Amino acid sequence: MAHKVIIIGSGCAGSTAAIYSARANLEPLVFEGVEPGGQLSLTTLVENFPGFPTGIMGPELVQLMKQQAERFGAEYNLEAITSVDLSRRPFILKTADTTYESHTLIIASGASAKWIGLESERRLVGHGVSSCATCDGFFFRDMNVAVVGGGDTAMEDSLFLTRFARKVTVIHRRAELRASKIMAERAMLNPKIEFVWDTVVTEILDPAKQKVEAVRVRNVKTDKEAMLPFDGVFVAIGHKPNTEIFQGQLKLDDDGYVVVHDGSKTSVDGVFAAGDVHDRHYRQAITAAGAGCRAAMDAEKYLEVQLK
């Protein structure tokens, strides 16, 4: 028997969609996927989500959302969707072991931050290493931080961090920025921002102490290595939307983000998108939650017509 609503993703967007659709008696099935809880599950203290005046830990916030959705009848499944067929109705979704059918689909699979790929980086995420300056910049007041990257995101993050940090050092693997001219000029003119060119980060210290103390870097032209002291590292080399399984079935933009119109509607009737999977600009917990609400309401209205 086909489900009324299947939701892919269990971050703020997915769980908010689950809360709204469960309260509408749509009995949503939520696939948590390879990163249960989404980006918030990788963060520590969240201080900008309304309703928590003293802040809340990211993993706790997504767990509370999940519990709230389950209270109204949402079902969570730890499997990951590996393929979909959106050319027929009900839609077909497959995991490694099971096939599911659904009259509507809400895609809330998020976007994953691109990382440098270091073991030390992975161990220090949430302990001085971050991919979100807007989320974590406040914690680095009067500190010395590094931003890895050379595009617009890196420049935006660097400029934002100057509000808090004592000094911001941009580490870029090329001799010039990839950022737009206006963003590059703003960063270059800011007295708090310095640049280290033709350089890559090879290690972040010190995982054993669970805090950032320095980074080891290598000049790509001379191969010369150096150790630079920092209190935090922000990786700003972009995000990758988790949309691989929708290639060729949904309209995606050049970077793989789902294209939406009229709210949360996608290029396929009955398929809706919410959160970072389509939002390349805001990428905040609260905007993702709002998008999840919107997608659930759009799915409910769609089903009112389709299942009469």
> Given the DSSP bridges, would you call strands 214-219 and 225-229 parallel, antiparallel or unpaired?
antiparallel
β-strand 91-94 against 83-85: which pairing, if any? antiparallel
Q: What is the C-alpha to C-alpha distance for residues 112 and 115, in angstroms, rounded to an integer?
A: 9
What are the catalytic residues?
A: 132, 135-136
191, 159 in Cβ contact below 8 A? no
Region at 212 (left for phi over 0; alpha for psi -120 to 50; beta for the rest): beta
Residue from 297, 240, 287 nearest 265 by CA: 297
CB 298 within 8 A of CB 23: no
d(CA 128, CA 232): 5
Rounded to the nearest 5 percent, the helix, strand and coil shares of the chain are 30, 25, 40
